Chain A
Amino acid sequence: MNFSAQSKAFALLLSVGLVAGCSSTGGTSEEGGEYGSDVAAVDQEGGSTVYGGDDQGGVSSSAMTEEERMEARKQAEQQALREITTFYFDFDTAEIKQEARDVLVAHARFLANNPGQNVRIEGHADERGTKEYNLALGERRANAVQRFLIVNGASRGQLETVSYGEEKPAVMGSSESAWAQNRRVELVFE
């Protein structure tokens, strides 16, 4: 074989390029955490982390592939779901509504992935009816949420339930709307 010096250099360059590409793929997803420390978390209240900024420290983001994008989107969705920590119920039931299920699943997965994370599940009821029965009803609602979380991955040791019955309404008043907002379970992350 008779290689010219030019073609050798070209082959070398390609190899370098290939190797560089391999190494950077693994780095993009993990870099965010490292570089995220430059940016303050935007909203702490929802109990979720917000990864801020589009400055990725020099790593070209245009190098993200389709599956990488999808994964990122899914993560963002889960975070958005986990911003919801209050779940509502109909009168005199502890049945978890359909729209709550996805959110609770997201929370359950999060708890499963973070075994050190504890959460207190607080059950409530609206002011109608008797106080003691409402205390038991609030507990039943909290227990329903607790069971759901366990079934979907959280462990019992992370969960604590308490019921306040009708004693701590979120909204004062004696209207249907106030009552609807008080029939709830709240997740309080500790």
Chain B
Amino acid sequence: MTHRIWHKPSRTLLAATALIFFAVSAARAELLIRITEGADSAIPVAVVPFAESGQMPAGDKVSSIVQADLTMTGEFRTLPPEKMLSLPSRREEVYFRDWRLLGQRYVLVGGLSRSGDRVQARYELFDVNREERILGETAAAPASNMRSLAHHISDKVYEAITGVPGAFSTKLAYITLDTANGKPRYRLQVSDVDGKRARIRLESQEPILSPAWSPDGEKLAYVSFETGKPVIFVHELATGNRTKVADFPGLNSAPAWSDDGRSLLMTLSKDGNAEIYRMNLDTRQLTKLTNHWAIDTEPSYDATGKGIFFTSDRSGGPQIYHMDTPGAEPRRITFGSRYNARPRPDNDGNYVYYVHQRDRAFHIARTELNTGEETILTRTESDESPSVAPNGRMLIYATRQNGSNVLTVISADGGAAYSLPASEGDVREPAWGPLVR
């Protein structure tokens, strides 16, 4: 055996180890930071008052209508104009650093110009941090219709930021109750989504209930007691013509439209107790969809247009049920309390919203249809008549506030609330109209 000086090989070994060590440390992945939660507050947006050239019609400014629209969703916090450092109306005038200092994420600028009886709006929306324009458009409207122009801009801005179409050009239908000459006065009214431009469509000394929009937004179905008992009418908004479609013995109530606008679901008790029927509006033919001694009422088609949600107290108290197809065996949806009623599903098939009793209070709640998880959305305690916006992002409902009945809009996940300015008397039974095509 040969003997060599062995610190030579050890030196090689050391060198090799060192090499591996460095290699490993170089390959050690660079730092990864995970962000799993966002800000819990609304996105700061600055809506700069639009520059004006020409005589603008009287009334609210376009930018303040846009500001109110965005605020109503609960998703945005708008900057009061008095806090703005400058009032740009085009890109060259926008100093992004200023807006960053003010903490704004988006800034909307624009200009209005009048020609004859039309007003043209040119507007641009900028992402302050990325210093990029994410929306730019011109739109025009008659000078008498500035509010619609403003709502159109709000729709576009909302969609550019969130990816979801805005619902600001939709209409609301609702019932008001006050007194005239010592007698009750019920009025069916239709207004903009912010409660403005309300117009009376029906006036009666007897109750009016359950207004329901046809899918094309041109008709309302509702229940009227004008003949002394509940009867369903279909009312054409453009002409004011109305047709009595259900006047059977007993109840005629809870109308709900099919997606093609050619049939109505309704609750009738002509066969002994409250059951759900479908009426073909062309032929007036009835199909009975439930058959149970319990109360079955408040039907509503689901997002597929085939299945039906409804309220039934077949298990002892009112609960939400679902039939996959009309007339199929119903499946119970709600279990969390002893009173759940008036289901209103959104258009995407994600959630169904309803009135839910917890302890002694009545709230609006929603159930996520995939998971069955239930969430209570409101802190108010005498809530009724939830109606979902057609883009699924907002909800309107009726509640009591300071002793009178008002309408309140909340974001669909229960965030910020916004009460519609109360007009005369009590307001109830809101119905959110469809998206305008």
Contact = CB atoms under 8 A, between A and B. Distances in A.
A–B contact, 8 Å CB criterion (strictly below): yes
Interface of A: 92, 127-133, 135-137, 139-140, 143, 161-165, 167-168, 174
B429 A131 contact: yes
Interface of B: 207, 209-210, 225, 228-230, 250-251, 253-254, 267, 269, 273-274, 295, 297-298, 311, 313, 317-318, 339, 341-342, 355, 357, 362, 382, 384-385, 400, 428-429
- If over half of B's interface residues share one DSSP class (helix, strand or loop), that class is named, otherwise mixed; here it is strand
B301 to A, nearest CB: 16
Given A136-B269, A167-B209, A174 B251 contact: no
A140 B295 contact: yes
Contacts, number: 80
A90 B429 CA distance: 25
B385 A131 contact: yes
A29 to B, nearest CB: 41
Contacts of B250: 139, 161
A92 B385 CA distance: 18
A133 B317 contact: no
A36 B400 CA distance: 54
Contact of B210 (A131, A137, A164): A131
B384 A167 contact: no
12 contacts: A92-B318, A129-B318, A130-B298, A132-B297, A132-B298, A133-B318, A135-B209, A136-B253, A140-B273, A165-B209, A167-B225, A168-B207
- If over half of A's interface residues share one DSSP class (helix, strand or loop), that class is named, otherwise mixed; here it is mixed
B382 A136 contact: no
Given A92-B339, A139-B251, A168-B207, 8 more contacts: A92-B317, A127-B382, A135-B297, A136-B253, A136-B267, A139-B274, A163-B251, A167-B209
A167 B177 CA distance: 11
Contacts of B230: 135, 163
A139 B297 contact: no
Contacts of B357: 129
A124 B207 CA distance: 13
Contacts of A131: 209-210, 384-385, 428-429
B251 A135 contact: yes
B384 A162 contact: no
Contacts of B229: 162
A177 to B, nearest CB: 15
A139 B269 contact: yes
Contacts of A140: 273-274, 295
B150 to A, nearest CB: 34
B297 A129 contact: no
A174 B429 CA distance: 18
A52 B225 CA distance: 41
A130 B355 contact: yes
A44 to B, nearest CB: 23
A176 to B, nearest CB: 9
Contact of A174 (B253, B298, B318, B400): B400
A24 to B, nearest CB: 51
A164 B230 CA distance: 8
Contacts of B428: 131
A183 B229 CA distance: 18
A130 B400 contact: no
A143 B273 CA distance: 9
Given A167-B207, A174-B382, A130 B228 contact: no
Given A140-B295, A163-B251, A132 B400 contact: no
B295 A137 contact: yes
B33 to A, nearest CB: 49
Contacts of B210: 131-132
A114 to B, nearest CB: 24
Given A136-B274, A162-B229, A174-B400, A129 B295 contact: no
